[in-house]
Amino acid sequence: MEKLNIKLNKEVFEITPNDNVLRDAINVARCGLRQGTYKVKNRSEVSGGGRKPWRQKGTGRARQGSIRAPQWRGGGVALGPVPRDYSLKMNRKERQLALKSALSYKAKDKEMIVVDKIEINVPKTKEMLKLLETLEVNDKKVLIVMGELTENVILASRNLQNVLIMEPFELNVLDIVNADYLVMTEDAVKMVEEALK
């Protein structure tokens, strides 16, 4: 493995970044991660309370229709949370522009490293640490993008919290922005350029 100094496609890695679209894409990604699986029972779902607890008039007490109304202990919750979907939509051209903007920022800030290939012969974490030391990014959050993932690379990196490995088709704005350094193999760069040009 060795660092390469290759010519990047200007349409993908050297555009003027669009901060608004980039922010929107990050927002879409983060909203998509929210579960929204909370749920409370309203008065129609709480058991009991089929009849009126006492008659309407003449008792001197406030009128009540059910012992499962929100003001009663054990009653339903008024206006409580119900399951909802937080995911937002984004147009394809906007998604592509956001991805190009994130990649352009990485290239401009010299936080992108292109290597010829990544090979690990033994599936050991220390092998991946050696590789990161060679690239001088061992104490940083690193996103590694490979043309084709190998089992040894996956096994060697899965114990490292600061390393995320993916293929080019999985590339997304949130992971690029979160990473301190983006490490890409030469074939991964070509695949990304092909997809985004």
Among 127, 126, 141, which Cα is nearest to 176's?
141
Q: What is residue 11's predicted lDDT score, i.e. its pLDDT?
A: 87
| 33 to 1, 19, 59, 89: CA distances (angstroms) | 35, 21, 54, 13
User: For residue 12, what pLDDT band results from cuts at 50, 70 and 90?
Assistant: confident
Whole-model pTM: value is: 0.80
Is 10's pLDDT higher than 90? no
How high is the pLDDT of residue 9? 84
Does the pLDDT of residue 24 top 80, yes or no?
yes
pLDDT at position 71, please?
A: 95
Closest CA to 176 of 29, 16, 7: 29
Instruction: Calculate ∠ Cα 180-189-4, nearest 5°.
Output: 75
Residues 6+ apart with CB under 8 A from 11: 100, 196, 197
Q: Report all structural domains of the chain as residue ranges with CATH numbers, in order of start.
A: 10-18+91-196 (3.40.1370.10), 35-85 (no CATH)
Cα R_g (the chain), whole angstroms:
27
